[in-house]
Structure 1
């Protein structure tokens, strides 16, 4: 049901979901543990992350010195429902709430604002309040300013000239972009030139704009959410009636999705952990899956490859092409396997199938793997690395 709600959210473009601190912390720690200097002397851009509300901004501001950042930039979005709600927390500014404002904040250093000997989230919040007050006075702020947009995009839209200019000066782009604009956002970031850490729908791995980046190891998946569940905060005025029972938690104002993941090109240890697998014979003899135990592996009707319906059932002694579930990408080790292509609807049309030998089949919808006349869900076509 969570997947269905994610689809509905995409279609309606009602995809304002805000990332929790604990999710950010868990993910970022994986990169720090692998390389403690991963963020050192780097400029991080957080597009569409309002500094007054975004946990991304607060998290990296708190850890600015710990990580050795060069600069932290965050921008908000004029049409975001959060922008028009949060301002009341910082004074009576009714006129500004009516018009809506998008902010840009640029930090090159942080300090113990209340001089209590400890730098923490309270210092960040007090600092923001102080700069907000300066911005609306004759003094002005040196770090906080308004965005103005351009003739094509509203203030704060990542595609605007202002935010694109900030992208160009940044080293790493980190955010939870709108699901409905994920393709366009990744293209805008350009993972061939910029480092990134963003959240998106797991189904995006099959997009013609995304799959080649994964296949060529230009981008990969980050560390999975705990137990596959990702929890996001909703804006206070969000329509929660569209979520199924058990997906929306009214007590915490959070929504749960299972079909989302982190996309990145920052390295982490899990990516290099080899899969522990069994041979052909041992899988058939000992596999926990009834489709495998006591059976032979089946070949596709339309691909020169075998069907492997579970990642842990990949045989270690097979040198040919194997079709595995897209969830394989959560455990993909580029030192262990090579991604040859994608067997999915329209993959033939979009050229995502690679060089795997293919025989057209009326059931495959332009590329799905077919086994004994039964069409399979999208499969990643892999081969053991030589």
Structure 2
């Protein structure tokens, strides 16, 4: 695994030579345009765990253990489990084919899903709040990528509106958003006995 500072270059080399990979990187790597492009094009995706879900790194004796991210296991290994790491891979996993169960509705709750000033789409604050009855564009947090199923959703673009400025709502910009579209809108509605009205 390369130093995080060489992450982009390393991934580019792996892609160039058509290699299979499973590497650890900083969670902010998904905001790099080169990495996001691979995710959007379904050439790379997040692994099963991220953050503290990654079991951790064994560190040497001289490394200071502090905070809630550290522990010593039953074998005496000194382990640090930072909350800012992810797996990036192009190896298929069962997780990326699991659909997100959608239970929220846009219609009747429009006030909870404000429209962007500079893009024809709605803002969704949490992945669990993605509405099952909205067929337009939706901006979701970057943590959505951990649950992203390419058969269920299409990634449209990252962060920017039609004016190429950060997405905004009433002049204020939420933290980075990924614009997506639900590919299964009619299936979602029929599975949930939904109303036929979709937008």
Counterpart in 2 of 1:256?
81
Aligned pairs for 1:298-337 within 5 A: 298-337=114-153
Counterpart in 1 of 2:172?
374
TM-score by length of 2: 0.80
Residue 281 to residue 184, structure 1, CA distance change in 2 (3 Å):
closer
User: How far did 1:207 drift?
Assistant: 0.3
Q: Which protein is bigger by CA-based radius of gyration?
A: 1
Aligned pairs for 1:157-172 within 5 A: none
Counterpart in 2 of 1:222?
47
C-alpha distance in structure 2 between counterparts of 1:191 and 1:269, whole Å: 26
C-alpha distance in structure 2 between counterparts of 1:245 and 1:237, whole Å: 16
Identify which of 359, 371, 384 aligns with 2:163.
359
Structure 1 residue ranges without an equivalent (≥5): 1-175, 285-293, 344-352, 361-366
Counterpart in 2 of 1:208?
33
Residue 191 to residue 328, structure 1, CA distance change in 2 (3 Å):
farther
Residue 283 to residue 235, structure 1, CA distance change in 2 (3 Å):
farther
Whether the 8 Å CA contact 2:45–2:89 is kept in 1: the answer is yes
Whether the 8 Å CA contact 2:4–2:25 is kept in 1: the answer is yes
Whether the 8 Å CA contact 2:27–2:84 is kept in 1: the answer is yes
TM-score by length of 1: 0.43
C-alpha distance in structure 2 between counterparts of 1:324 and 1:283, whole Å: 20
For residues 43-82 of structure 1, what are the alpha-carbon distances to aligned partners after superposition, in whole Å with 9 as ceiling and x for unaligned?
xxxxxxxxxxxxxxxxxxxxxxxxxxxxxxxxxxxxxxxx
Residue 222 to residue 283, structure 1, CA distance change in 2 (3 Å):
farther
User: How far did 1:259 drift?
Assistant: 1.6
The answer to whether the aligner puts 1:193 opposite 2:15 as a matched pair is: no
C-alpha distance in structure 2 between counterparts of 1:322 and 1:230, whole Å: 33
Aligned pairs for 1:1-386 within 5 A: 176-190=1-15, 193-225=18-50, 228=53, 230-238=55-63, 240=64, 245-249=67-71, 252-281=77-106, 284=109, 295-343=111-159, 353=160, 358-359=162-163, 367-385=165-183
More helix by share: 1
For residues 310-342 of structure 1, what are the alpha-carbon distances to aligned partners after superposition, in whole Å with 9 as ceiling and x for unaligned?
001111111111100111001100000000010
Q: Which has the higher contact order (CA 8 A, sep 6+)?
A: 2
C-alpha distance in structure 1 between counterparts of 2:8 and 2:151, whole Å: 27
Whether the 8 Å CA contact 2:51–2:84 is kept in 1: the answer is no
Whether the 8 Å CA contact 1:283–1:315 is kept in 2: the answer is no
C-alpha distance in structure 1 between counterparts of 2:25 and 2:48, whole Å: 13
User: How far did 1:203 drift?
Assistant: 1.0
More moved, 225-234 vs 373-382: 225-234
For residues 8-42 of structure 1, what are the alpha-carbon distances to aligned partners after superposition, in whole Å with 9 as ceiling and x for unaligned?
xxxxxxxxxxxxxxxxxxxxxxxxxxxxxxxxxxx
Residue 212 to residue 273, structure 1, CA distance change in 2 (3 Å):
same
User: How far did 1:227 drift?
Assistant: 5.8
C-alpha distance in structure 1 between counterparts of 2:80 and 2:104, whole Å: 41
RMSD: 2.5
